[in-house]
């Protein structure tokens, strides 16, 4: 009845194979497909193991290299879209699940809960997880902020983890997504934004299910590792800014459970290493571009060349910055990319010291309220 797809790039094959086995053991799963970015070491290891797994479980385990489907940097988007295309063109399964390949906490429950929500009639099911208050800084500051400012009446701002790669699509949902040229084009990290956007834009019904065990996966150190992801995720939102999205689509969010102390205490990134990023890689052109931004932002960031400053980048300043970025940002321009990175770093540092420091519950409540305030600002002005 269902196909499970794992897009992967240079992952630990042991982690991926463990998840593949979990999927194969599930009664609802009839086939598993791993879509690699290239024939890397992980690809070779999974290829070697696949025939034996197919025999043991009596279900096909495929492994393919992603096709070139999109127009941006060839990345996760081509991987997911290759899985989507395979599902539609090579199988007649009713449902498609996507899961990241680096998850060490994957279990049967993830598949079961998604299937149960689909049984209830939802066309899309999205998994969401407890996250630390300093994790998900692209999600909060880029994606949810952008969704709130641009489509305040839609379901988009309220989607818990719009960049999550764990989801179920019914066949009709998969057809809608793959038929949308905006989705097919997005070959890079922007794919999660586009899938989320397209679900709402096409009026699909969405259930968000809560996975209490959490998504334990590879983490980043300094925020530098996230630079490409940041730029591609912002560009994805920016590229959609003129698009229309319906209001009042069906969207249900399962109420989250209590968050474990360990998660509440987790620190999402290396604060000290990140501070330095504000001082690095300045060019004259970046200084010029700062003229487009409000005075406090311009002056604050310029001071950061000598000494890290970020307290100016509060929620309101960020809304103004975001609007300037929507109007002027150019992802092909390295100085714009670096400037976006620094502005976002300042935002993350400000949030960390002014909000996250006050404690987990305060921070998570604040972030949700922040989205609501951005929605309000977009609807009634502020
Ligand atoms: N097929 C494919 N998968 C990719 C590519 N880039 C990343 N992935 C996979 O996409 C998933 C999410 O990537 P990850 O680095 O864990 O991102 P994060 O969880 O958002 O930090 C993982 O399974 C990656 O292996 C790519 O270029 N092609
Ligand atoms: Mg990951």
- Which is nearest to 320 in space by CA: 291, 351, 293? 293
Q: Which tokens is 70 given?
A: 């999109």
Atom nearest to 10 CA in ligand 1: 25
- Which is nearest to 265 in space by CA: 367, 371, 135, 145? 135
Average pLDDT in the 188-212 region?
98
Atom nearest to 35 CA in ligand 1: 1
161 vs 193: CA distance, rounded Å? 10
Residue 50 beta carbon below 6 angstroms from any ligand 1 atom: no
pLDDT at residue number 382? 63
359 vs 380: CA distance, rounded Å? 31
pLDDT > 90? residue 224: no
Ligand 1, atom 6, lies closest to the CA of: 76
Residue 217 beta carbon below 6 angstroms from any ligand 1 atom: yes
Q: DSSP assignment, residue 260?
A: P
168 vs 173: CA distance, rounded Å? 9
348 vs 314: CA distance, rounded Å? 9
129 vs 364: CA distance, rounded Å? 13
Determine how β-strand 95-98 pairs with β-strand 61-65. Answer: unpaired
pLDDT tens-digit series, residues 101-156: 999 999 999 999 999 999 999 999 999 999 999 999 999 999 999 999 999 999 99
Residue 73 beta carbon below 6 angstroms from any ligand 1 atom: no
Residue 100 beta carbon below 6 angstroms from any ligand 1 atom: yes
Average pLDDT in the 56-73 region?
98
Phi, psi of 282 (to 5 degrees): -75, 145
pLDDT > 70? residue 4: yes
User: Helix (H, G, I), strand (E, B), or coil: what is residue 77?
Assistant: helix
Atom nearest to 219 CA in ligand 1: 21
Residue 165 beta carbon below 6 angstroms from any ligand 1 atom: yes
Question: Which numbered ligand comes closest to the C-alpha of 6?
Answer: 1
pLDDT tens-digit series, residues 292-306: 999 999 999 999 999
- Which is nearest to 93 in space by CA: 170, 35, 5? 170
CB atoms within 10 A of CB 305: 15
Distance 220 CA to ligand 1 centre (A): 13
Q: 36 near 66, Cβ under 8 Å?
A: yes
Residue 8 beta carbon below 6 angstroms from any ligand 1 atom: yes
pLDDT tens-digit series, residues 348-365: 999 999 999 999 999 999
Q: Which one is predicted more confidently, 319 or 225?
A: 319
Residue 76 beta carbon below 6 angstroms from any ligand 1 atom: yes
Element housing 279 (H / E): none
CATH match for 2-264 among 3.40.50.2300, 3.60.20.10, 3.90.550.10, 3.90.1170.50: 3.90.550.10
pLDDT > 70? residue 338: yes
- Which is nearest to 57 in space by CA: 104, 24, 33? 24
Residue 75 beta carbon below 6 angstroms from any ligand 1 atom: yes
Buried/exposed 41-52: b ≥16 CB within 10 Å, e otherwise: ebbebbbebbee
Q: Which tokens is 268 given?
A: 């999402």
Give the model's confidence band at 225: pLDDT under 50 very low, under 70 low, under 90 confident, else very high. Answer: confident
Q: 270 near 222, Cβ under 8 Å?
A: yes
Distance 114 CA to ligand 2 centre (A): 19
Specify the residue for token string 């300042």.
Answer: 346
Q: Which of 22-31, 58-67, 177-186, 213-222 has the lowest mean pLDDT?
A: 213-222
Distance 218 CA to ligand 2 centre (A): 5
Residue 79 beta carbon below 6 angstroms from any ligand 1 atom: yes
Domain map (residue ranges) of the chain:
2-264, 268-380
Element housing 44 (H / E): helix 41-57
Atom nearest to 218 CA in ligand 1: 16
Phi, psi of 304 (to 5 degrees): -60, -15
CB-facing half-sphere around the CA of 195: CA atoms within 13 A = 29
Ligand 1 pocket test, pick from 37, 132, 135, 161 with the greatest ligand atom count within 8 Å of Cβ, gives 37
- Which is nearest to 320 in space by CA: 347, 344, 359, 294? 294
Residue 327, classified by CB atoms within 10 Å of its CB into exposed (0-12), middle (13-18) or buried (19+), is exposed
């Amino acid at each position: 009845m269902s196909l499970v797809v794992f897009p992967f790039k240079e992952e630990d094959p042991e982690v991926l194979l463990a998840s593949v086995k979990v999927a194969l053991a599930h009664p609802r799963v009839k086939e598993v497909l791993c879509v690699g970015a290239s024939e890397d070491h992980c690809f070779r290891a999974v290829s070697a193991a696949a025939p034996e797994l197919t025999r043991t479980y009596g279900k096909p385990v495929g492994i393919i290299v992603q096709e070139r489907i999109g127009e941006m940097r060839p990345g996760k988007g081509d991987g997911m879209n290759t899985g989507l295309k395979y599902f539609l063109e090579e199988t007649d399964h009713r449902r498609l699940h996507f899961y990241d390949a680096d998850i060490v906490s994957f279990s049967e429950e993830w598949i079961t809960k998604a299937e149960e929500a689909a049984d209830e009639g939802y066309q899309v099911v999205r998994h969401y997880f407890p996250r630390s208050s300093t994790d998900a800084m692209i999600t909060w500051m880029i994606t949810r902020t952008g969704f709130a400012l641009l489509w305040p009446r839609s379901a988009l701002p309220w989607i818990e983890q719009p960049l999550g790669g764990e989801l179920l699509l019914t066949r009709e949902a998969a057809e809608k997504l793959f038929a949308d040229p905006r989705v097919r084009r997005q070959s890079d990290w922007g794919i999660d934004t586009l899938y989320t956007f397209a679900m709402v834009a096409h009026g699909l019904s969405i259930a968000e299910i809560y996975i209490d065990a959490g998504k334990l996966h590879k983490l980043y150190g300094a925020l530098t590792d996230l630079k490409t992801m940041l730029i591609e995720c912002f560009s994805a939102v920016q590229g959609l800014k003129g698009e229309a999205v319906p209001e009042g689509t069906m969207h249900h969010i399962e109420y989250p459970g209590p968050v474990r102390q360990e998660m509440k205490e987790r620190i999402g990134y290396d604060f000290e290493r990140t501070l330095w990023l504000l001082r690095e890689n300045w060019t004259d052109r970046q200084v010029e571009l700062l003229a487009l931004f409000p005075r406090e932002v311009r002056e604050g960031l310029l001071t950061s060349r000598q000494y890290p400053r970020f307290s100016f980048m509060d929620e309101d300043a960020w809304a103004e910055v975001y609007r300037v970025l929507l109007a002027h940002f150019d992802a092909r321009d390295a100085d714009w990319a670096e400037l976006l990175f620094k502005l976002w770093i300042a935002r993350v540092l400000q949030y960390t010291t002014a909000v996250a420091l006050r404690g987990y519950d305060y921070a998570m409540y604040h972030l949700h309220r922040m989205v609501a305030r951005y929605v309000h600002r977009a609807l009634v002005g502020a």
